[in-house]
Structure 1
Amino acid sequence: MTTSGDRSGAGMPVPAPSFTHLARLSDDTGLFEHARHAIVRREHGYCTDDVARGLLVASREPEPSAQVLGLAECYLAFLTHAQDGRGAFHNRLGHDRRWTDQPGLGDWWGRALWGLGTAAARNPADWIRTEALVAFSRGAARRSAAPHAMAFAGLGAAEVLRRHPGHAVAGALLDDAAGAVGAADPDPRWPWPQQRLSYASAALAEVVIAAGHLRGNAALLADGLRMLTWLCEVQVRDGRLSVVPVGGWRRDGARPRHDQQPIEVAALADACATAATITGDPAWRIALGRAVGWFLGHNDLGMAMWDPATGGGYDGLTPHGPNFNQGAESTLALISTLQHARQRS
Structure 2
Amino acid sequence: MRVAPPLLRPSFSHLRRLTDAGGLYEHAEGIVPRTAHGYCVDDVARALVVVCREADPELSGLQEQYLGFVVSAQSEDGTFRNRRSADLRWSGASSTEDWWGRALWGLGAAVRRPASSTAREAALAAFERGAVLRSRWSRAMAFAGLGAAEVLAVRPSDPLARALLADAARAVGRPAAAASWPWPELRLRYANAALPEVLVAAGSLLGDRSLLDDGLLLLGWLLEQETRDGHLSVVPVAGRGPADLGAGFDQQPIEVAALADACARALAVTGDDRWLGGIELAAAWFHGHNDGATPLVDTISGGGFDGLEVDGRNENQGAESTLAAISTLQHARALLLVGGL
Q: TM-score range by the shorter chain?
A: over 0.9
| 46, 49, 52: which one aligns with 1:53 | 46
The worse-fitting range, judged by mean Cα deviation, of 92-101 and 216-225 is 92-101
**Residue in structure 1 matched with residue 136 of structure 2 by the alignment:** 145
Deviation at 1:126, TM superposition (A): 2.3
| 56, 67, 80: which one aligns with 1:64 | 56
> What is the CA–CA distance in structure 1 between the aligned matches of 2:163 and 2:182, rounded to whole Å?
25
The worse-fitting range, judged by mean Cα deviation, of 43-52 and 120-129 is 120-129
**Residue in structure 2 matched with residue 4 of structure 1 by the alignment:** none
State TM-score, norm by structure 2. 0.96
Residue pair 1:60, 1:123 contacting (<8 A) in 2 also: no
**Residue in structure 2 matched with residue 41 of structure 1 by the alignment:** 34
SS of 1:197 mapped into structure 2: coil
**Residue in structure 2 matched with residue 305 of structure 1 by the alignment:** 296
The worse-fitting range, judged by mean Cα deviation, of 46-55 and 184-193 is 184-193
Residue pair 2:73, 2:81 contacting (<8 A) in 1 also: yes
**Residue in structure 2 matched with residue 31 of structure 1 by the alignment:** 24
> What is the CA–CA distance in structure 2 between the aligned matches of 1:119 and 1:337, rounded to whole Å?
19
| 143, 152, 168: which one aligns with 1:161 | 152
Deviation at 1:301, TM superposition (A): 1.4
**Residue in structure 2 matched with residue 280 of structure 1 by the alignment:** 271
For structure 1, the 5+ residue unaligned runs are: 1-6
Residue pair 1:14, 1:341 contacting (<8 A) in 2 also: no
The worse-fitting range, judged by mean Cα deviation, of 274-283 and 250-259 is 250-259
| 192, 203, 209: which one aligns with 1:218 | 209
Residue pair 2:141, 2:171 contacting (<8 A) in 1 also: yes
- The letter of the residue matching 1:45 is G
For structure 2, the 5+ residue unaligned runs are: none
| 13, 16, 19: which one aligns with 2:12 | 19
**Residue in structure 2 matched with residue 3 of structure 1 by the alignment:** none
The worse-fitting range, judged by mean Cα deviation, of 83-92 and 186-195 is 186-195
Residue pair 2:27, 2:318 contacting (<8 A) in 1 also: yes
> What is the CA–CA distance in structure 1 between the aligned matches of 2:226 and 2:44, rounded to whole Å?
28
| 329, 333, 339: which one aligns with 1:338 | 329
> What is the CA–CA distance in structure 2 between the aligned matches of 1:320 and 1:123, rounded to whole Å?
42
**Residue in structure 1 matched with residue 256 of structure 2 by the alignment:** 265
State TM-score, norm by structure 1. 0.95
- For the pair 1:182 / 2:173, whether they are aligned, the reply is yes
**Residue in structure 1 matched with residue 182 of structure 2 by the alignment:** 191
Deviation at 1:85, TM superposition (A): 0.6
Deviation at 1:240, TM superposition (A): 0.4
Q: Could you give the per-residue CA deviations for residues 84-121 of structure 1, whole angstroms, max 9, x where no partner exists?
A: 11110000011121112121110000000000001101
Deviation at 1:256, TM superposition (A): 4.6
RMSD: 1.2
| 56, 66, 69: which one aligns with 1:78 | 69
> What is the CA–CA distance in structure 1 between the aligned matches of 2:295 and 2:64, rounded to whole Å?
31
Aligned positions, number: 336
Deviation at 1:10, TM superposition (A): 3.8
> What is the CA–CA distance in structure 2 between the aligned matches of 1:321 and 1:76, rounded to whole Å?
35
- The letter of the residue matching 1:64 is D
- The letter of the residue matching 1:195 is L
> What is the CA–CA distance in structure 2 between the aligned matches of 1:111 and 1:132, rounded to whole Å?
13
Superposition misfits of 4+ residues, deviation over 6 angstroms: none
> What is the CA–CA distance in structure 2 between the aligned matches of 1:230 and 1:334, rounded to whole Å?
23
Identity of aligned residues (%): 54
Residue pair 1:249, 1:255 contacting (<8 A) in 2 also: no
SS of 1:123 mapped into structure 2: coil
Q: Could you give the per-residue CA deviations for residues 15-74 of structure 1, whole angstroms, max 9, x where no partner exists?
A: 31111111100111210100000000000000000010011111011x2232x1111111
